[in-house]
Amino acid sequence: MSEACSHSGSISCSCCSPLWKSFLPDTPVETPEGENSLHIETKLFRSAPNKDGSPSKAILTLEDGKDVAVEAMGIHAGLIVATGSYQDVKAKMPKSVSEHQLSEKQTLLPGLIEPHVHITSTAMLSGIGNDVSPFEDQKLRKNYNRSWVISHLKEKASPHKSDKWLIGFGADPSLFVDGDKAFDADALDKITTLQPVFVLNASMHLAYINHAAIELVRESCKDVPPDGILKEIVGIQPVLNVMVSSYPKTELAVKLIASMSKLFALASKRGVTYMLDAGVEPKGDKPGFDQVGFLDKWAHLPICPVRIGGALIVTDNEDFENKVVNYYSPGYGDEHFHLPYIKVISDGSNQGLTGYQSTPYCCNQLYEKMPSVDNVGAFNFDPSTNINTLVQNVVDKNWPLMIHTNGDEAIRLTLESFKLAHVTSATYEQRRDRLEHASLLTDDHLSEMKQLGLSPSFLIGHVGYWGWAFQQTILGEDRANHLDRCQSAINHEMRITLHSDNGVTPLGPLRMMEQAISRVMEGAPQDTPPAVLNVQERISRFAALKAATYDAAWQCHAEQWVGSLVAGKCADFVILADSPLTYDSADKNNPVKGMRDIPVLETWKGGRKVHSS
């Protein structure tokens, strides 16, 4: 009989791991001060004329979730005043209004939405460590393997003996293209023997240290594995404690602020105007870092280029009662920052071999294709009925839920918990409960989700980045075909979204749209036509755009502010060099190839131009 593998502590998506919180300052962090030099503008935007001089319609409004294109749009005081014909919009604007006419293929559309990211954790890890993930910009790194990780960190190593830690994060053996996939102290000694080295696996269930680190940690922790392989929280946390003690808390605060600024700037560069942090730690009455207050304050700064939503993460019913009830209320906030959800994590990740499955994985822990010793992953609630108690209480307290589900068995148990809590399609519009990742959906799951009034948010990088590994090694062809069933969900009349889970995959709604439209497996050999994962699950260009704007705003309970360009909503929009609805790569096998690279010429939030290229 298959059994879940044993794990110490709950399994989580990497960005929700409690490990990264070790680096957070334990005192309040001052957000950047100063007024934004960018003024809120009053302006009329106008489409470029057609070649014959007639009016064109290059402003995509997504009004009522439909494919609506207009000639002009006017903004004032941070809001949209009007959309429609140039003459109608001009009549509603001041007589001396400044005009901006689009040119050539330029297209204006609603600000893009990232409905599931991890802002603070991603910024903190980026601030203190070196990225050794498989991603370069928004593409898979070529020839990514253990040798590359070692050589990249070797370039960062000190030439002299030092007690300063060299940190790498995001190492992902599941995407190594060749060579040895295992790390240990001997392997990390190839980086340096002069300073302690710590490399965190992308799953955050494993970490590795070199012999210099082993010696340093042994001064305060005698039980360090001699091979330098640290497993789960129980093995990693003692090393983190030693590492963090070497950093002044003020230094960590400075690094966090600088890294947050870079993250938000990158979001603007990629056309993002709203981000929902899917792992905000509720403070309750505990001392220490107040993540809610930190994000709330930052979002209200004039210099903040994005709006922020937050999902309060809880591990069990006691956690919910002690940290959320009596401290936060459903929907708290405004157009700058709000708290629309409670977040629960039911299992791990499929690429990390910890998503909870009904049948075992097809590979071992080194991603060698063979029976996986009956590993079906792990479920975070033991007994599984504990999730039912939590879901019932959260529903009774009128909080919407977003529940992380990757494996098919985790999905089944999660759907059962919603059913027992009497959630139905009648509450669909009010609650908007979500399954996060919803990676391996069966037809029965989809039917039940429809009956329960649930909608999925897909980590579409599972198809684009890991699809080949899932198909060839981790899950096998039949199960891999169930990954991110976008079109099937739409066929069941669900409103879907696409997310990056950043830092699991890179920020970029245009990239996610491309991957959902094409379903090309980017890790497949490149000397053949593009390998597509289940062509029947491809979605249309407009469906992808809607998932990144209108439906994403709805899923995030933010449609009153963003997601479409209509009078009265926030003036959040982007100007692209080309329209994602008509973009053509000239690749007959994949017309949307490179959609992720359409230049974002301008990003506007609340009537301020927050990015221009």
* Displacement of CA 375 from its chain's centroid (Å): 27
Both tokens assigned to 566: 């209509």
Answer with the residue of higher pLDDT: 583 or 303. Answer: 583
C-alpha 114/C-alpha 311 separation (Å) is 13
Sign, CA torsion 150/362/534/545: negative
pTM over 0.85: yes
Read off the pLDDT band of 409 (50, 70, 90): very high
- Closest among 565, 538, 537 to 549, alpha carbons compared: 565
Tell me the pLDDT band of 252, cut-offs 50, 70 and 90. confident
Position 10 pLDDT exceeds 90: no
252 to 4, 125, 208, 243, 256: CA distances (angstroms) = 37, 10, 22, 12, 6
Q: What is the mean pLDDT of residues 203-210?
A: 87
pLDDT at 2 over 60: no
Give all domains of the chain, ordered by start, each with its CATH number.
40-111+564-613 (2.30.40.10)
The predicted structure's pLDDT at residue 7 = 38
Q: How confident is the model at residue 4, as a pLDDT? A: 39
CB-based contacts of 400, cutoff 8 Å, min separation 6: 330, 340, 341, 342, 431, 432, 433, 434, 557
Q: What is the mean pLDDT of residues 83-103?
A: 97
pLDDT, one tens digit per residue, over 338-372 is 999 999 999 989 998 989 999 999 999 889 998 76
| Average confidence score pLDDT of the chain | 93
Which residues, 6 or more positions from 226, have their beta carbon under 8 angstroms from its beta carbon? 185, 214
Give the span between the Cα atoms of 280 and 342, in whole angstroms. Answer: 9
pLDDT at residue 221 in the model: 83
CB contact at 8 A, 608 and 136 = no
Position 530 scores a pLDDT of 92
For residues 356 and 406, is the Cβ–Cβ distance under 8 A?
yes
pLDDT in tens, 433-467: 999 999 999 999 999 999 999 999 999 999 999 99
In order, the DSSP letters of 17-40 are -TTGGGGS-SS--PPP-S--SSPP
Cβ contact 211:177 at 8 Å: no
The answer, yes or no, to whether residue 384 has pLDDT greater than 60, is: yes
Q: Do residues 534 and 527 lie in contact, with contact meaning Cβ atoms separated by under 8 Å?
A: no
Q: Are strands 59-60 and 112-117 parallel, antiparallel or unpaired?
A: unpaired
What is the identity of the amino acid at 83? T
What span, in angstroms and rounded, lies between the C-alpha atoms of 273 and 271?
7
- Rounded to the nearest 10°, the torsion over CA 438, 596, 181, 124 is -80
- For the chain, what percentages of helix, strand and coil (3-state, to nearest 5) are there? 30, 20, 50
Contacts of 139 (CB under 8 A, 6+ apart): 522
Q: Rounded distance, CA 574 to CA 503, Å? A: 23
134 contacts: CB under 8 Å, gap ≥ 6: 140, 141, 144, 170, 172, 175, 465
Q: Which pLDDT score, from 0 to 100, does residue 293 have?
A: 94
Which helix (DSSP H) or strand (DSSP E) does residue 79 occupy? strand 79-84
The residue behind tokens 């990742």 is 437
Note whether 399 and 330 are within 8 A (CB): yes
Three-state DSSP string of 187-233: HHHCCCCCCCEEEEECCCCEEEECHHHHHHHCCCCCCCCCCCEEEHH
* pLDDT, tens digit (0-9, with 9 covering 90-100), for 280-289: 999 988 888 8
- pLDDT of 13 reads 55
pLDDT (average), residues 317-331: 96
State whether residue 114 is helix, strand or coil. Answer: strand
